[in-house]
Structure 1
Amino acid sequence: MKSINVCLIGTGRAGMIHGRNYAKNVQNARLVAVCDPNVESLKAAQEELGVEIGYSDYREVLRDDDIDAVIVVTPTQFHCEIVVAAAKAKKHILCEKPFGVNEEECQLMIDVAKENNVKLQVGFMRRFDESFRQAKALVDQGVIGDVVLVKSLTHGPSELKEWMYDISKSSGPIGEVNSHDLDTLRWFTGSEVESVYAIGGNFRSPEMKEKYPDYYDTVSMNMKFNDGKLGAVDGAQYVQYGYDARAEILGTHGSILVGDQSKLNVVVANKDGEVNKSAMHSWTYLFKDAYAREDQAFIDCILHNTQPEVTGYDGLMSVRLVRLALQSLLEERIVYVEEEKSNG
């Protein structure tokens, strides 16, 4: 079977997860080049990954006829420019989330990829996590009857960088951590959101309230879907105790729980009557295997000419729901999707 030659564009923390996979763990793929405008980061990536070819400008990548596909893991503001150019250069694309800055960018990337007959996959790795996939299979088999309510949460432990307090740039937890949850709800319900209501507050960074009055570190969202199903999402940043990603799917005949706060399935009870489990410290650890499956699925869809499991439309819908939920939070009201469309 043909081997797909891949170039990684963006060698930061998330980029290197993909880079390590394509260097070692993905069948029928070869990591032949890496690209990053930061010379030090580029050289470090080349050395670690054992890749001879390094580009500082993505345009050089697209002129390389030996490269079949690109993995775009740059800051979101550059996704549209790079993805559109890559599609026009007939390179298949795996683009990390958030897919684009806005829905217009997302639609443009979808259209150009379709026009040039290239595969476009968006990086929602939870869809490739073994536990989440097993839960989805059980739902599809009707084990819990009809889905009634899907709840999903993500809590991140890291202290924020200055720019993240400006929600005009980061969208706060809704954009930074909950885009995965919003995709999870669409995936498990098989439906689209009809309305969303979000409330939130700044509880962990009170010293930033004067400079960033709209910033919130905790959010709770309720959603209703077009077919009547219900959804609930909660998100938080700088929780400090560890990384946390879980979901619950309630059906007419039962429920399914996905995820656990613990790093290991080990519980220690001591002489003081305390019971302890180690918390999950990072999403990079929790979803390590999911990233590998995601990267393999991208290559497989190219080789077998099948639709990616996570499409550009899925990426667009996540960007849309982040925007609507943030609008609900700021305007302190329920936002109806149809109302929003008519006003647009």
Structure 2
Amino acid sequence: MKTIRVCLIGTGRAGLIHGRNMAAKIRGGELIALCDPSQEALKAAEKELNVTYTYTDYRQALKNTEIDAVIVVTPTVYHKEIVIAAAEAGKHILCEKPLAMDEAECLEMIAAAERNQVKLQVGFMRRFDESFQEAKRIVDSGAIGEVVLVKSLTHGPSEPKPWMYDISKSNGPIGEVNSHDLDTLRWFTGSEAVSIYSIGGNFRSPEIKEDYPDYYDTVSMNLQFLDGKLGAVDGAQYVQYGYDARVEILGTNGSVLIGDQSKHKVVIANREGEIIRPAMHSWTYLFADAYVAEDQAFIDCILEDSEPFVTGYDGMMAVKLVHAGLTSLLEKRIVWIDKEEAQ
């Protein structure tokens, strides 16, 4: 069987998840190169992953004819230039979410992949999670009737990185956190949104309000879809209690619930009369298997010459909803999405 030789571009926390998978867990894939502008991060990753090539400039990496594919795990603002350059170099691409900063950038990236006949997969790993996939099978079977409402919640525990406070660069939690939720709504409704209304605020980082008055750490969004289905997203950063990702799909004849707040099934009862269940601490733990399945699917779609399970179009539509949601939040109004575009 042919082996797809991979370069990881971006060796931060999320990048190393893909790197470790590709180095040891993926059939038909081989990690041969690393790229990161930070010498310190690059050296640490090289020591752990033991690759043949290392680069501080992705342009140099893309000149290596031994590399068949790249995994792009950089800050979102750099996705467009790297993905287009990779496509022009004939490399297949797995790009972490969000795909780009806006819809126009996404269109350029999709066009570049199509023009150069390379795969472009977007990193919505929840679609590869066993619980999410089982829920999708149940919904598609008609067991709960017609879908009426999909509610998706993501709360992250970590303090935002300094660059995240500038929503012109990060889009805030709607982009960095809730793009997963928006993709989940599209996936389970099987439809496109026609309206979105967002409210939110900065409740946990008051010290940065003067410098970043538009920053928000909590948001609530309501959506309506082309076929009448309803959607709701609950998002928050820096909640501190743990990582929290849950979904409810309400149908005409029943419902499906995905996820809970606990790390595992152990429950502790102590002499103070307390019942304790440790909270989920990190997305890296909760979705570890989903990341493996996602990386395997990327290699498989190259080897089988099939369409990626999560396409550039999926990535673009999530970005479109991110911008609609952010516009609604900042302008305090319902944002209507062109129905013809949603069809």
What TM-score bracket applies, with the shorter chain setting the length? Answer: over 0.9
Aligned to 2:92: 92
Aligned to 2:210: 210
Q: Secondary structure at the match of 1:198?
A: strand
Aligned to 1:228: 228
Deviations 1:172-206 (A, max 9, x none): 21112101000000000010001000111222223
| Within-5 A mapping of 1:49-198 | 49-198=49-198
Aligned to 2:311: 311
Shift of 1:207: 2.9
Q: Secondary structure at the match of 1:231?
A: strand
Is contact 2:77-2:169 (8 Å) kept? Answer: no
Q: Could you tell me how far apart the structure 1 residues matched to 2:248 and 2:337 are? A: 24
1:56 and 1:207, CA in 2 relative to 1: closer, same or farther beyond 3 A? closer
Aligned to 2:284: 284
Shift of 1:165: 2.1
Aligned to 2:7: 7
Shift of 1:82: 1.1
Q: Secondary structure at the match of 2:48?
A: helix
Q: Which amino acid aligns with 2:51?
A: V
Shift of 1:303: 0.7
Aligned to 1:242: 242
Deviations 1:231-283 (A, max 9, x none): 00010111110000000000111000001111111111222221110011111
Is contact 2:226-2:339 (8 Å) kept? Answer: no
Q: Could you tell me how far apart the structure 1 residues matched to 2:138 and 2:92 are? A: 32
Q: Could you tell me how far apart the structure 1 residues matched to 2:114 and 2:154 are? A: 33
Q: Could you tell me how far apart the structure 2 residues matched to 1:171 and 1:246 are? A: 22
1:293 aligns with 2:289: no
Q: Could you tell me how far apart the structure 2 residues matched to 1:93 and 1:205 are? A: 36
Deviations 1:39-72 (A, max 9, x none): 2211211110111211222122221111111111
Q: Could you tell me how far apart the structure 2 residues matched to 1:228 and 1:115 are? A: 36
1:262 aligns with 2:262: yes
Q: Secondary structure at the match of 2:316?
A: helix
Is contact 2:194-2:339 (8 Å) kept? Answer: no
Q: Which range moved further: 16-25 or 43-52? A: 43-52
Q: Could you tell me how far apart the structure 1 residues matched to 2:37 and 2:244 are? A: 33
Q: Secondary structure at the match of 2:338?
A: helix
1:23 aligns with 2:23: yes
Aligned to 1:320: 320
Q: Could you tell me how far apart the structure 1 residues matched to 2:62 and 2:164 are? A: 32
Q: Secondary structure at the match of 1:227?
A: coil
Q: Could you tell me how far apart the structure 1 residues matched to 2:35 and 2:168 are? A: 29
Q: Secondary structure at the match of 1:54?
A: strand
Shift of 1:228: 0.3
Q: Could you tell me how far apart the structure 2 residues matched to 1:311 and 1:288 are? A: 21
Pairwise CA RMSD of aligned residues? 1.3
> TM-score, normalised to structure 1's length?
0.96
Q: Secondary structure at the match of 1:87?
A: helix
Q: Secondary structure at the match of 1:22?
A: helix
> TM-score, normalised to structure 2's length?
0.97
- For structure 1, list consecutive stretches of 5 or more residues without a partner in the other structure: none
Aligned to 1:200: 200
Q: Which amino acid aligns with 1:25?
A: K
Q: Could you tell me how far apart the structure 1 residues matched to 2:339 and 2:166 are? A: 27
